[in-house]
Structure 1
Amino acid sequence: MSTSTTLMPSGIPGLDDVLQGGLRPGHLYFIEGNPGTGKTTFGLQFLLEGLRRGERCLLISLAESPEEVAVIADSHGWSIEGLEVRDLVSAEEIHSTALFDLSEIALDDRVQAMMAEMEALRPDRLVLDTLAALRVYSDQSSYFRRHVELFRSKAVELRATLLVTDEATGPAELHPRSLAWGISRLEQQVEEYGPGRRWLWLPKLRGQAYVGGCHDMCIKTGGLQVFPRLDADRSAEPPSQHDLISSGSAPLDALLGGGLERGTSVGVIGPPGCGKSTLVSSFAMAAAGRGERVALYAFDESLTTFRKRSISQGLDIDSAPASNLLTLRQIDPGQVSPGELARELADEVDRKQTQIVIIDSLNGYLQAMPNDPSINLQVHDLLSYLSAHGALTLVTLAQPSPLNRQEGLPVDLSYLTDTVIAQRYFEAYGAIRYALSVMKKRYGDHERTIREYKIGRGGVIVGEPLSDFRGVLTGVPEYLGEDRPLL
């Protein structure tokens, strides 16, 4: 048995990060999942990675013919030239036992044929697809396990790394999982509408540390890609209170106690139409104007609409992308899983050194996680990760109002964010007006006042504190001061 500590790359983007390096050579790994979860594609990517590295690679197929394997590879744009493919379903010598369809003789014949192919080629990487096709030849768990032990022992003797695909269903006693060095489980959840969601997790892995939990996964042209769950640094020190980021508006900065701290998260809440997107856009443009990198992810409106609105408000939104300081991304939550988006945001701060990240809105982000009881934890891990890497993250969250019938989202914004900025309507003098306040700021002080604001040229224009009003938070305040114009 190989005792090398050098790990073998899996060939699947993101999986080696979960494995913290790759697979340990010379061992048996099970790849489990229901039909259609990507087990065969997983095996092919593993073998093609070996071919790229000049290794001998063998695919023993008990489910698809070589022609069908070639079609699968072609659908991903892969060439399997150099890959040894052995078909033990249609092989002539196997047909001789067809009369013993469910007999142990048929099982023994196939296992012996597999071992002969292994001995002939002596591969570095070997994939058996699929164990379920062998299981039909035996209903005795001990006899079936002995045959699995035979080809596992042969792989160990040849120092081959063996991947065996298997279905996750069927009698538990016919799943010899205890023989495996590691197990990767592929899962798929189909919703009533949309493409569904895929993920991967590791029920078992001996001899090395790995990232536990479920990791989002997708299958696209080019194969499987895994998006490792973000491992937030919960021991990170709080940010320096002196490193403040200006909003570009002196009254708004005053309300915020001088600005927002780098390395924190900010929630901007309010009903639809009160200017949440405009407020965070003003932050983005002010930062880009100072030469800082900003990434804005829009869920609720198209980039065309975003640009038109920004231009109408006097924000030169097109100048920043031209200087590569502002990245604008429109996200369809039905097409991008939370894990994929989290990894993209992590790449923004890790590789691109982005300093401000904006998610507009959290409502749209959460649509990618319907009925997920871990919503708060997933969003918290994402925001903690971005904060630990020094980014200021702003997220907007629409609240119920007369314009919608949305139920309260199952998120705790006070738990998720360090600062909460609240925008709201109020009625005065027969008109709808807007009020702004800071409900919470974890690091540093802030004003406790409520200020009026309006949306005009330059974005959000913040006025003086509404000190002459009582009951602004009710929506129908009482004016106590002298007559004077509002904004």
Structure 2
Amino acid sequence: MSTSATLSPSGIPGLDNVLQGGLRQGHLYFIEGPPGTGKTTFGLQFLLEGLRRGERCLLISLAERPEEVAVIAASHGWSIDGLEVRDLVNPHEVHSTALFDLSETALDDRVQAALAEIDSLRPQRLVLDTLAALRIYSDHPSIFRRHVEHFRSKAVELGTTLLVTDEASGSPELHPRSLAWGIIRMEQRVSDYGPSRRWLWLPKLRGQAYVGGYHDMRIETGGLRVFPRLEIGRSTAPPARNDLVSSGNASLDTLLGGGLERGTSVGLIGPPGCGKSTLASRFALAAVERGERVVFYAFDESLATLRKRALSQDLEIDSALASQRLKLRQINPGQAAPGELARELAEEVDRHQTQLIVIDSLNGYFQAMPNDPMLNLQVHDLLSYLSAHGALTLLTLAHPSPLNRQQGLPVDLSYLTDTVIVQRYFEAYGTIRYALSVMKKRYGDHERTIREYKIGPGGIDVGEPLTEFRGVLTGVPEYLGEHQPLL
């Protein structure tokens, strides 16, 4: 009798979040994907989770021998003691007759042998690896479909959760996908540089809510790990506080209309070397001083460089790190998948109640999503998720300057963020100086002035509004008044 109302946890971190619980007992699932995408690892991980729960588990191997299965398991640090493994790699000796083709007889022989093993053990979890090894024996879609129906019927009869791996290659007629209760598709893409990117998605899942779309995936020692796509509508976060966050600098807070609102996102934009990271660090350390948790993601420079620069500006970064309220995280864009990064950021606010997040820089974050046409939407969803949890997110973004070759901004920062703070160079009295202004603030008022600032001990020192200059935004201002002292 089927127990289809019961869900079996997959044992794969993150996948049950996608499945909204697990896989239904008494049903057939196809695990599809090209060679090398992790189908066998998926099956083993599912079976070992069953063993951990005291269930009877059976692997029927049609592609690897038991000793090869043991090698795969050992590479992940797993023991398959207690797992029933049946080797049907070698065909049974059969003879051609006048009525049946040899391949047809071999297919029937293997299917009957597999069904006999299932009847004998009556497993609660069963993996058949792989359907492609049976397909080579049949050129008749109706006959092949009937054999797959035997496996499905047996799973329903015994209440067994049955996973069948398949490459899903060749003629579509030989892929009886309509028999499956659900299909999990695994894919990978090799880029010009760095590791391949892996993901999975569900083309089909009956009678069960699930998270649609692509979900990044990683194969590492210990098995598969899935990073579910963020769903903004499912957020159960408490309402964000509306109080203002201070930078710790009175002049800067005045420019910002008192500070930055919690639960918003802020873009710090400017050419390289104008102090975007320093400004972000000033907000981060002010939050630490208030007893808040801060995480700083560095994409463009090493943590040693970030710390050295902070110390040169008398920013108390070491004491913040010692308090464990500041976490520095260095990210290599060539090694990180966008879904993995988004899930890690989500866990910061879900699990650790992080109040301030710095992404330095957004340019580096984008390198983790090369050639992604949905870049704006992915980042927008991430920032919306963080905002819904009351976190203040600061993102630095370098725009074109004489120091880089960037032809244009990779995203629309005004669309993504609630506040935009612009930093720039300008020339005055024969020297290069720095100007700061708030170009946009979605919530609350702010100064419409342009202020000079300089970087020194304590980070950023913000001066008075540049009221007697015209054209500061162009970088070559015109002085209109009497001599005005600058910083």
Classify the TM-score, shorter chain: over 0.9
Aligned CA-pair RMSD? 1.8
Task: Give the direction of change, closer, same or farther, for the CA distance of 1:475–1:154 in structure 2 (3 Å limit).
Answer: same
1:62-461 aligned at under 5 Å gives the runs 62-90=62-90, 94-96=92-94, 103-233=103-233, 242-461=242-461
Secondary structure at the residue paired with 1:467?
Answer: coil
Task: Give the direction of change, closer, same or farther, for the CA distance of 1:397–1:167 in structure 2 (3 Å limit).
Answer: same
Q: Unmatched 5+ residue regions in structure 1?
A: none
1:96 to partner: Cα distance: 3.8
After superposition, give the CA deviation of every residue in 1:338-368 in whole Å (9 maximum; x if it has no partner). 1111111111111111100110001111101
Secondary structure at the residue paired with 2:283?
Answer: helix
Task: Give the direction of change, closer, same or farther, for the CA distance of 1:242–1:139 in structure 2 (3 Å limit).
Answer: closer
More deviation, 58-67/476-485: 476-485
> Are the aligned partners of 2:3 and 2:159 in contact in 1 as well (CA < 8 Å)?
no
After superposition, give the CA deviation of every residue in 1:435-457 in whole Å (9 maximum; x if it has no partner). 11111111111111111111000
Task: Give the direction of change, closer, same or farther, for the CA distance of 1:56–1:3 in structure 2 (3 Å limit).
Answer: closer
After superposition, give the CA deviation of every residue in 1:267-310 in whole Å (9 maximum; x if it has no partner). 11111100000000000001101111100000000000000000
> Are the aligned partners of 1:32 and 1:185 in contact in 2 as well (CA < 8 Å)?
yes
Q: What is the one-letter code of the residue matched to 1:138? A: S
> Are the aligned partners of 1:418 and 1:441 in contact in 2 as well (CA < 8 Å)?
yes
Identity fraction in percent? 80
1:59 to partner: Cα distance: 0.3
After superposition, give the CA deviation of every residue in 1:412-441 in whole Å (9 maximum; x if it has no partner). 111111001111111111111111111111
Aligned counterparts of 1:467 and 1:167: Cα–Cα separation in 2:
69
Q: What is the one-letter code of the residue matched to 2:264? A: T
Aligned counterparts of 2:4 and 2:191: Cα–Cα separation in 1:
44
1:334 to partner: Cα distance: 1.3
1:161 to partner: Cα distance: 0.7
Aligned counterparts of 1:248 and 1:233: Cα–Cα separation in 2:
34
> Are the aligned partners of 1:455 and 1:461 in contact in 2 as well (CA < 8 Å)?
yes
Q: What is the one-letter code of the residue matched to 2:482? A: E
Aligned counterparts of 1:449 and 1:12: Cα–Cα separation in 2:
54
Q: What is the one-letter code of the residue matched to 2:218? A: C
Task: Give the direction of change, closer, same or farther, for the CA distance of 1:351–1:238 in structure 2 (3 Å limit).
Answer: closer
After superposition, give the CA deviation of every residue in 1:26-82 in whole Å (9 maximum; x if it has no partner). 100000000000000000000000000000000000111101100000000000000
More deviation, 234-243/195-204: 234-243
> Are the aligned partners of 2:218 and 2:224 in contact in 1 as well (CA < 8 Å)?
yes
Aligned counterparts of 2:324 and 2:280: Cα–Cα separation in 1:
18
Task: Give the direction of change, closer, same or farther, for the CA distance of 1:241–1:420 in structure 2 (3 Å limit).
Answer: farther
Aligned counterparts of 1:451 and 1:407: Cα–Cα separation in 2:
27
1:95 to partner: Cα distance: 3.9
Aligned counterparts of 1:22 and 1:134: Cα–Cα separation in 2:
27
Task: Give the direction of change, closer, same or farther, for the CA distance of 1:457–1:95 in structure 2 (3 Å limit).
Answer: farther
> Are the aligned partners of 1:9 and 1:23 in contact in 2 as well (CA < 8 Å)?
yes
Q: What is the one-letter code of the residue matched to 1:56? A: R
Secondary structure at the residue paired with 1:103?
Answer: helix
TM-score of the pair, normalised by structure 1: 0.97
Q: What is the one-letter code of the residue matched to 1:403? A: L
1:54 aligns with 2:48: no
Q: What is the one-letter code of the residue matched to 1:396? A: T
Task: Give the length in aligned residue pairs.
Answer: 485
> Are the aligned partners of 2:469 and 2:478 in contact in 1 as well (CA < 8 Å)?
yes
More deviation, 273-282/102-111: 102-111
TM-score of the pair, normalised by structure 2: 0.97
More deviation, 138-147/101-110: 101-110
Secondary structure at the residue paired with 1:315?
Answer: coil
After superposition, give the CA deviation of every residue in 1:188-214 in whole Å (9 maximum; x if it has no partner). 010011102100100000001000000
Task: Give the direction of change, closer, same or farther, for the CA distance of 1:216–1:424 in structure 2 (3 Å limit).
Answer: same
